[in-house]
A = this chain, B = another copy of it.
Amino acid sequence: MNIHEYQAKECFRAAGIPVPPGEIATTPDEAEAIATRFGGMVVVKAQVHSGGRGKAGGVKLAKNAVEAREHAARILGMDIKGLTVEKVLVTPAEDIATEAYVGVLVDRKSQAATFMVSAEGGVDIEEVAATNPEAIRKLTVDPRYGILPHQAHWLANYLYDDPGLIKQATKIMMQLYRAFVDSGASMAEINPLITTPSGEVKAIDAKMSIDDSELFRRPGIEAMRDISSEPAAETRAREAGLSFVKLDGDVGCCVNGAGLAMATMDLVKYYGGEPANFLDIGGSSNPDKVVAALEIITSDPNVKVILFNIFGGITRCDDVANGIVEATRRIDIEPPIVIRLTGTNEEEALAILADAGFSAYTSMDDVVETAVKMAKA
């Protein structure tokens, strides 16, 4: 789950990281009022779950409250990479002497949280890592010890020469790790970490992604979820415990297992079709999930055919069969349904579907080819 800059800043503040003040506005009036309270120059920043806000015109410096109002009016409602800006953060403009990059994320290879810092701030760290890796200092945090003071110091020492700045940055590294762990994050980034002409180190931007698996035990973070920032179908899928990603095609896919779901999408493409979605009904499923899956798929007006591809393992085929039958009773489903279903409790499932008048394929290629043909018909 992604959270907004202003929310990430709250997490940072709670961990003690120096972050300039800031308030959220949803209207130009509010933005003007906030800017008036701060006085002086402010920055108006679009709050969307997307990179490249700056390039898209979503971050603007305002000389005064009136200008802040004007910027907010332009930014609110703006579309940035398909997402509508609903909120702006208004924050005092800072004098910047230098900008650096500090990030921590879970690294697959070392199986641990890993810091990346670079003396160049405001950069795309993935690009720097790819093109100029020696401009980055990396630190793997042993999960048995957490970040140690000397390691934080080693990172800070890479960014600055001045002992005072190193001391502040060392503390910030420790605090960022604390924020990362306490929020259940998979990524936390300060980009840029600035120094001011008077020698202070501050985080003026903040980004965090939360590990979805952490949310059950972090209600405070879960409460930060901004439903307005995701398509309604994805909200519905999440609430039903389904993995769903909306795509642009017309073949609605309902598959158990992420790998098989991706392979099914790939096969739709192979046979000349376009998948309408990725949808994994997950492991241990129950009929309600199937009902929800059908509701979500049919809510997309592009969908011309619904393709089930179920291979039973921990998912029992009879549960899915029951779900399909129940769903067709409960809701009105217009597109035709083609079903492929095999594995655990396959025979019971086939009997249930037969009773309800469905017929089922056993070959994945056959069912996908048929679905693509039906979508094109």
Q: Chain A interface (Cβ within 8 Å of chain B)? A: 144-145
Give CA–CA (A145, B142) in the complex, Å: 11
Q: Report B-chain residues with C-beta under 8 Å of the C-beta of A144.
A: 144-145
- Give the complex CA separation of A144 and B143 in angstroms: 9
Closest chain-B Cβ to A245's Cβ sits at a distance in Å of: 35
Tell me the number of copies of this protein. Answer: 2
| Nearest 2 A/B pairs, CB to CB | A144-B144, A144-B145
Residues of B within 8 A of A145 (CB): 144
A145 CA to B145 CA, complexed, in Å? 8
Assembly CA distance A125 to B270 (angstroms): 72
CA distance A144 to B144 in the complex (A): 5
A145 vs B144: C-alpha distance when bound (angstroms) = 6
Q: How far is the CB of A122 from chain B (nearest CB, A)?
A: 37
CB distance from A65 to the nearest CB of B (A): 46
Which B residue's beta carbon lies closest to that of A144? B144
Q: How far is the CA of A145 from the CA of B146 in the complex (A)?
A: 10
A–B Cβ pairs within 8 angstroms, 2 of them: A144-B144, A144-B145
A165 to chain B, nearest CB (A): 26
Give Cα A376–Cα B292 distance, bound, in whole angstroms. Answer: 98
Nearest-neighbour CB distance to chain B for A250, whole angstroms, equals 49
Bound-state Cα–Cα, A269 to B144, Å:
50
A204 shortest CB reach to chain B, Å: 32
Complex Cα gap A327–B286 (Å): 86
* Bound: A144/B142 CA distance, A: 10
Report the minimum CB–CB distance from A140 to chain B (whole Å): 15
Beta-carbon nearest neighbor of A142 in chain B? B144
Q: CA separation between A144 and B145, bound complex, in Å?
A: 6
Least Cβ–Cβ distance between A145 and chain B, in angstroms: 6
Chain B residue with minimal CB distance to A146?
B144
- Rounded to whole angstroms, the CA-CA distance of A306 and B145 in the bound complex is 49
